[in-house]
Amino acid sequence: MRIFVGFRRPRKPILGLELAGEIEAVGKDVKRFKKGDLIFAFTGKCFGAYAEYTCLPEDGLYMPADCIMALRPSNVTSEEAAAVPSRGTLALYFLRKGNIQNGQKVLIYGASGGIGTFAVQLARYFGAQVTGVCSTANLDLVKSLGADKVIDYTKEDFTNSGESYDFVFDAVGKRYSSKLQCKKALTPNGKYISVDEETPRLYLEDLILIKKLVKAGKIKSVIDRCYPLEQMVEAHRYVDKGHKKGNVVITVGHDNKFNNYEN
């Protein structure tokens, strides 16, 4: 993260990696978008989502090198759209990295988090049999997202249950010790993937696929809380507690129009 963000201080003074909003103006050579378009974006190395306005290139192909941006789904709110670009595409990336297949038994650790809530829904979309691991308070939420089974990690250790999985996805990031522990729960050819193993490369096509799935009602955003931009500090303090359900959104008001940035 220091390589990406900055070693001593952030390279960009305005942070924030994803947003949903309305285009206020476009350059004379812009072809894909026009003023008034409702878009969502993963800003990548541009950062800048924590602001009332930001300027982004239209031609980004993949993140983190570029910004990836598309017209947002027409059937969701601004808040729901803001939560999609990074968490949705990251969930898609890691499930593909694990070569998820129809009929597989898949376990998602951290199934109630920002990435985990999308991963549960995407795994079901790919035809997997999904087990979600979360805390007691989030069992019903994870079930409602399509998990076939849920495990309360405060009461049961899935690695000692005797159950084997074709794919274990750690959507929280528990580092190397967790990989060694999770091997006990894998089938002989099973795979373990963690969100903290690498910096993923996310393509514009990934965002467009996620958009199509949201528009078709196959997946949805889970919003825990919304905070106005003025309460950014409080929003981060809440997220840092590690107990949020899905996503936390920052709202920015402009004459009753809202740009929303997922935290």
What are 19's two structure tokens?
């947003």
**If 0-12 CB within 10 Å is exposed, 13-18 middle and 19+ buried, where does residue 214 land?**
buried
Helix or strand or coil: residue 81? helix
- Cα(129)–Cα(88) distance, rounded to whole angstroms? 19
| pLDDT tens by residue, the chain, 263 residues | 566 666 677 677 788 889 999 999 999 999 999 999 999 999 988 888 999 999 999 888 888 778 999 999 999 999 999 999 999 999 999 999 999 999 999 999 999 999 999 999 999 999 999 999 999 999 999 999 999 999 999 999 999 888 999 999 999 987 666 777 888 899 999 999 999 888 889 999 999 999 999 999 999 999 999 999 999 999 999 999 988 999 999 998 754 445 555 45
Q: For residue 31, which phi and psi values (nearest 5 degrees)? A: -115, -35
Q: For residue 214, which phi and psi values (nearest 5 degrees)? A: -65, -45
Type of residue found at 192 = Y
- Cα(218)–Cα(121) distance, rounded to whole angstroms? 7
